[in-house]
A and B are shown apart, each in its own frame.
Chain A
Amino acid sequence: RKEVEQDPGPFNVPEGATVAFNCTYSNSASQSFFWYRQDCRKEPKLLMSVYSSGNEDGRFTAQLNRASQYISLLIRDSKLSDSATYLCVVTRYSGGGADGLTFGKGTHLIIQP
């Protein structure tokens, strides 16, 4: 099983709709989780951290399910500007502890007018 797995998509969603996608991770010891956003031909940028109790930032909601080892991202009232690739990011562990982040390959989202 890959460390971090995402459905690559693309997800084609009409503007204004709600869209959600998940990401699964294999290392149960992972402690930190993030969603990054990457626009075409740009660098990844932090969208939001994911907290155990779930958290919301405007139209975006992130949730963590430790028992099933997945995190999710929900986007409400989607905008054309939400079109991007969304990368799931999980703490990377080796040897003595956390030592960086592992990125999923990303889910490609296309918001259609």
Chain B
Amino acid sequence: DAGVIQSPRHEVTEMGQEVTLRCKPISGHNSLFWYRQTMMRGLELLIYFNNNVPIDDSGMPEDRFSAKMPNASFSTLKIQPSEPRDSAVYFCASSMDIYSGNTIYFGEGSWLTVV
């Protein structure tokens, strides 16, 4: 079975450039999550969707970050303009639904370095 698929796996970009991270959730999963992980802050929830609708984006650090889910099989997280402090691993995860506390499955992550 295909798991959560993320791309790119690694990206190095210059400050000020736009970064787009992509995610394909597990088929049949209704909830999709974007997390960011750094050594200092651990795993932080940025935003999550249920049935393609953004439910809570309070974790999005600032207006430079935006996320979309145009359909059940695709989501993007965009950073524009990027800054060095955005360097982190960005994980996309999906689950059957968010309400029952079901386990969530993570993609392998997108390792972002902004120089």
Q: Which residues of A contact B (CB under 8 A)?
A: 31-32, 34, 42-46, 49, 87, 91-92, 94, 97-106
Contact = CB atoms under 8 A, between A and B. Distances in A.
Contacts, number: 51
Contact of B106 (A34, A44, A99, A100): A44
Nearest to B33: A100
Query: Interface of chain A, helix or strand or loop or mixed?
Result: strand
A104 B33 CA distance: 16
A99 B48 contact: yes
A63 B56 CA distance: 30
A31 to B, nearest CB: 6
Interface stretch (B15-23, B60-68, B93-101): B93-101
A86 B43 CA distance: 12
Contact of A43 (B41, B98, B109): B109
Interface in B71-115: 91, 98-101, 103-109
Contacts of A91: 101
Given A100-B56, A105-B43, 17 more contacts: A34-B103, A43-B91, A43-B106, A43-B109, A44-B43, A46-B105, A94-B56, A98-B98, A98-B101, A99-B55, A99-B56, A100-B31, A100-B45, A100-B48, A101-B101, A101-B104, A102-B45
Contact of A99 (B43, B98, B108): B98
